[in-house]
Structure formats: C-alpha cells, structure tokens
C-alpha cells in the first residue's frame, strides 16, 4: 500500500546515500558509542524502516559510477556531491557492489555492520571479511562488486584507448591549422571526436586519463588541448554530470586555447622567458579564442559556452589572472573545471616556454596552495581524488633503488599502484617490467615508493614506455 505521507523512493534515495556516507565517515573517526555515530545510525534506521515496510526490501547498488536503488538509478545531487563520492569510493574499496536491507533494521544491526565494515578495510579480501562479519544479521545482506573490466581484453582496450587519443590529437591539429588559414571549421566533427572520448571515459577512465601523461614537446598545443579535454570530462564524470554535459564540457575544453592559433609561432615556441610585450600578446589568446569560436560553422548553445570558457579559463579571483574583468558574477562551472585541468596539464608538460615540467604530485600540491583564491577548492578536491596520489605516468624511485613509472592505480591502496620498472637498482635501463607494490613477501611489502622523480632529469620519454 502506498501511503500519501511517504515520499517516493527516488526522492529519498539521495538522502539514503547521504546518511549512509555520513555514518561510514563518522564511524571511521569515532568509536561506535560516540554520539555522532549513534545519532546518524538512529536517523538512518528511522528513515529506512518505513521504506522497507512499503517496498519489501531496499537494495542500494553500485554499477560503474552510479548508484541504483531498487534498480532505479539515483540522480546525483550537487548538495550531496561529497557524500556520493565518499560512498562510491568506500564501496569500491571494499569490493562491495550492493547492500540489501529487509525486515526491520535495528541500530544494533547497523553497529555490527559498521564494525565489520571498518574491520574489512584492513583485510586483503575486504568483501569476504565484511560479508562474514554480518552473517548473523538477518536484515542485512551484501553483494560483491561486479567487475566491468575484462582482463583478457586488456591489450585490445589499450589499443582502442590509444587510437581514440591520437585521433583526437590529429583532429585538433587539423582544426588549428584550418583556423590559422582562416578556413571555417565545423563543430559537428568535433562533437564526434569528443563523443568517442566521453564513451571511453565512462568505461575506461583510468586508461584514457593515463594517456594525458604523454606530453609532446613539438606538438604541445594539440596534446595539451586533448589532455585538458580528457581531464575535464573525467572530472565532470566524477561530479556526476550527465552524458550530455560531459559532451559539452569535452568540446569546450578542446577549444579552450583555440585563440593561441593567432599568437605568432616564434612567441608561442619561445624557449626563454617572455618579454613584457610577448606576455601582452600571449594574454590576448582568451579574447582571440572567443572570436574564432564565434566564427565556426554550426554555431549553437554549446558554442556560446565554448566562447565563455575560452574567455574565462585564465581568470582568477586574484591578480594573477587575465583578461582583467570587473568581477560581476561567478565563473562558469565549465570554466572552473577547465581551468583546473589546464593548470595541471600545463604544469606537468614540457611546453617550450616553461622548460621545467613538474612531477604530477608537485603540480597538485602547488594547485592545492592555489585553492580558494585561484581554483575552486571543491572541484580541486575531486580532481586530486581522480588523478590520485601517484597519477599514471609518474616517475618514482622505489626502496629497492629501482626506478619506474606508475602504470595503473590501486583503488584500495592509493600509495601502492602497479609500476613499470625501467631502471634496475644499479641504474641500468631495462626493457620495462611491471611490478605490483601491493605484493607482499613474508608479510612485508616487497617494494614501496620512496619519492617521485623528474623524468627530464633522466631523459625518459614516457611515450616510449606507455604506448
């Protein structure tokens, strides 16, 4: 019987996610008897029981990057963004795919669950530990996280990812030379290119984001445009933006520096520091970008958004930004996303006029210092979460004195990714073999990251290893 007093399941779904995230968060820092934990558990029980009574049971499930409640996808809500992110990460960390509530839940049931949940965080087989821990609780059951990636097809997937990435780079190169030649370009093809990247990110986020570690000195601007687009889409996905918005975001990001086509090549590629006059020219590129975009064929709402982002992507709320504007309103969400992706990629790239690219972790810590005044702190938090402590492509020194590149991340143990060793402990170059830092021998980790290194110092070409 559906009573009028009870809200629809889809309406309260986000509150369930929010409360569950709050319970998990507080129980990670406090004792189960702590008032904050007790209160949030009581609140959760009071909310979920009437729903179970009405629906028979409630299942919260994680599929890919989305939560479902009784098989209906839960809409992301901006106000609970962090809760969604927290819970998703916790589910993944525990290899947990779903929780089902049935009968009547008591606060005691939830406490047993939390105890098992926390204990399983330290287990090598978190899902099994959790599921054993709640065996005796009749009102609760859990399901394992379904694997989406197919290991056997790993090599093929890598090929598709590479093809998509380089196709986007060559497309961007084509667009920029057309713009330079004064030819009209069509937004439609750009949309198709971006769509292939969005589809891939929804499915293979890490691999495509990993491609952005490849920076090309000669073709900097094209790689940079594609990298910013990939990073922006990936961040947008983390924020739970719908696919339509991801397509727009990818497109506007791809065109953010289109105004650079009007900067004279000898200024753009100048290996030494800019003079005041050269800076003055460089700083025109946002405005020139607007002009180029407005001239494109197939002009529509997205083009307007692209023009806004081209104009705003260097505006900061402090004196470092340009163009100088009267600060009348907040920057566009897409501009704030693109500006984070842009700064990260610029800092970690060997573009000609900044000959010292930073290792990813160093770039992220500088960006953290800039949070607030220059960058949106909440978006930055999501971004750092996304690229990870050691982004794919980071050059690291291991405790074994081996030197390697971060190859793929470990969601459970962020500081223990898989690494491709490229220099042995004697400093000799080796063809590259992959080691797993989560691997243990006699209860001790075999390898541990000591520090990150500058790839340029070692004259290491990332592309050589990653392609």
∠ Cα 142 82 437 (to 5°): 65
Sole window of 45-53, 87-95, 249-257, 328-336 interacting with Fe ion (rule: CB under 5 A)? 249-257
CB of 80 or CB of 311, closer to Fe ion: 311
Task: Tell the burial category of 15 from Cβ atoms under 10 Å away from its Cβ (0-12, 13-18, 19+).
Answer: middle
The count of chain residues that interact with Fe ion, using the rule CB under 5 A, is: 2
CB of 130 or CB of 310, closer to Fe ion: 310
Closest approach of Fe ion to the CB of residue 405, in Å: 25
Closest approach of Fe ion to the CB of residue 382, in Å: 20
CB of 206 or CB of 257, closer to Fe ion: 257
Closest approach of Fe ion to the CB of residue 303, in Å: 18
Q: Are 56 and 50 contacting, i.e. CB atoms less than 8 angstroms apart?
A: no
Task: Tell the burial category of 166 from Cβ atoms under 10 Å away from its Cβ (0-12, 13-18, 19+).
Answer: middle
Buried b (16+ CB within 10 A) or exposed e, 277-291: ebeebbbbbbebbbe
CB of 14 or CB of 314, closer to Fe ion: 314
Closest approach of Fe ion to the CB of residue 219, in Å: 14
Closest approach of Fe ion to the CB of residue 338, in Å: 8
Q: What is the 3-state secondary structure (H, E, C) of 98-145?
A: EEEEECCCCHHHHHHHHHHHHHHHCCCCHHHHHHHHCCCCCCEEEEEC
CB of 25 or CB of 305, closer to Fe ion: 305
Sole window of 54-62, 150-158, 257-265, 459-467 interacting with Fe ion (rule: CB under 5 A)? 257-265
Closest approach of Fe ion to the CB of residue 286, in Å: 7
Give the DSSP H/E element, type plus range, for residue 17: helix 9-29
376 binds Fe ion, rule: CB under 5 A: no
Tokens 């962090």 belong to residue: 82
Closest approach of Fe ion to the CB of residue 147, in Å: 36
CB of 209 or CB of 263, closer to Fe ion: 263
State the binding string over 324-363 for Fe ion (x if CB under 5 A, else -). Answer: ------------------x---------------------
CA 146 to chain centre: 21
Among 104, 116, 3, CA closest to 47: 104
Question: CB-based contacts of 328: which residues, under 8 Å, 6+ apart?
Answer: none
Among 194, 230, 189, CA closest to 209: 230
Among 103, 84, 100, CA closest to 134: 100
Single residue of 90, 257, 278, 402 touching Fe ion by CB under 5 A = 257
Edge to edge, the sheet with strand 429-436 lists 429-436, 418-423, 403-408, 395-398, 449-452
Alpha helix (H) ranges present in 255-359? 265-268, 276-282, 285-294, 301-312, 333-347
Closest approach of Fe ion to the CB of residue 85, in Å: 26
Closest approach of Fe ion to the CB of residue 354, in Å: 12
Give the DSSP H/E element, type plus range, for residue 248: helix 243-254
Closest approach of Fe ion to the CB of residue 187, in Å: 19
Token reading at 179? 């713009």
CB of 87 or CB of 290, closer to Fe ion: 290
CB of 254 or CB of 386, closer to Fe ion: 254
Sole window of 141-149, 252-260, 271-279, 366-374 interacting with Fe ion (rule: CB under 5 A)? 252-260
Q: Are 99 and 58 contacting, i.e. CB atoms less than 8 angstroms apart?
A: no
CB of 263 or CB of 420, closer to Fe ion: 263
CB of 95 or CB of 305, closer to Fe ion: 305
Which residues of the chain form contacts with Fe ion (CB under 5 A)?
257, 342
């Amino acid at each position: 019987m559906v009573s009028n007093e009870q809200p629809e399941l889809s309406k309260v779904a986000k509150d369930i996610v929010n409360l569950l995230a709050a319970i998990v968060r507080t129980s990670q820092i406090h004792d189960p008897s702590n008032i904050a934990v007790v209160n949030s558990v009581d609140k959760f029980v009071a909310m979920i029981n009437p729903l179970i009574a009405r629906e028979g049971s409630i299942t919260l499930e994680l599929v890919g990057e989305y939560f479902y409640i009784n098989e209906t996808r839960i809409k992301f809500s901006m106000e609970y963004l962090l809760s969604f992110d927290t819970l998703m990460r916790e589910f993944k960390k525990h290899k947990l795919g779903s929780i089902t509530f049935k009968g009547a839940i008591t606060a005691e049931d939830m406490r047993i669950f939390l105890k098992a949940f926390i204990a399983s965080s330290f287990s090598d087989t978190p899902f099994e530990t959790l599921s054993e821990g709640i065996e005796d609780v009749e009102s609760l059951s859990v399901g394992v996280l379904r694997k989406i990636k197919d290991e056997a097809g790993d090599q093929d997937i890598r090929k598709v990812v590479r093809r998509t990435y380089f196709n986007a780079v060559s497309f961007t190169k084509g667009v920029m030379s057309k713009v330079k030649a004064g030819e009209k370009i069509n937004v439609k093809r750009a949309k198709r290119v971006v769509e292939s990247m969005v589809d891939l990110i929804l499915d293979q986020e890490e691999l495509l984001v990993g491609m952005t570690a490849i920076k090309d000195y000669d073709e900097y601007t094209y790689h940079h445009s594609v990298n910013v687009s990939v990073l922006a889409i990936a961040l947008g996905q983390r924020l739970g933006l719908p696919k339509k918005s991801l397509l727009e975001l990818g497109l506007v990001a791809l065109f953010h520096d289109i105004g650079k086509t009007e900067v004279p090549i000898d200024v753009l590629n100048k290996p030494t520091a800019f003079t005041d006059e050269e800076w003055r020219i460089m700083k025109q590129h946002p405005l020139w970008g607007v002009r180029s975009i407005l001239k494109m064929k197939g002009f529509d709402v997205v083009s307007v958004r692209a023009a806004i982002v081209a104009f705003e992507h260097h505006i900061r709320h402090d004196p470092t930004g340009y163009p100088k504007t009267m600060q009348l309103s907040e920057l566009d969400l897409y501009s704030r996303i693109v500006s984070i992706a842009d700064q990260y990629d610029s800092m970690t790239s060997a573009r000609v006029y900044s000959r010292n690219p930073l290792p990813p972790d160093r770039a992220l810590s500088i960006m953290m210092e800039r949070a607030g005044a220059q960058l949106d702190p909440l978006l930055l938090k999501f971004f750092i979460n996304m690229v990870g402590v050691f982004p794919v492509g980071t050059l690291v020194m291991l405790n074994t004195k081996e030197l390697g590149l971060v190859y793929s991340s470990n969601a459970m143990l962020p500081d223990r990714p898989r690494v491709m060793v490229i220099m042995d402990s004697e400093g000799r170059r080796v063809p590259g073999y992959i080691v797993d830092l989560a691997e243990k021998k006699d209860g001790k980790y075999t390898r541990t990251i000591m520090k990150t290194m500058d790839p340029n110092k070692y004259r290491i070409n990332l592309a050589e290893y990653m392609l």
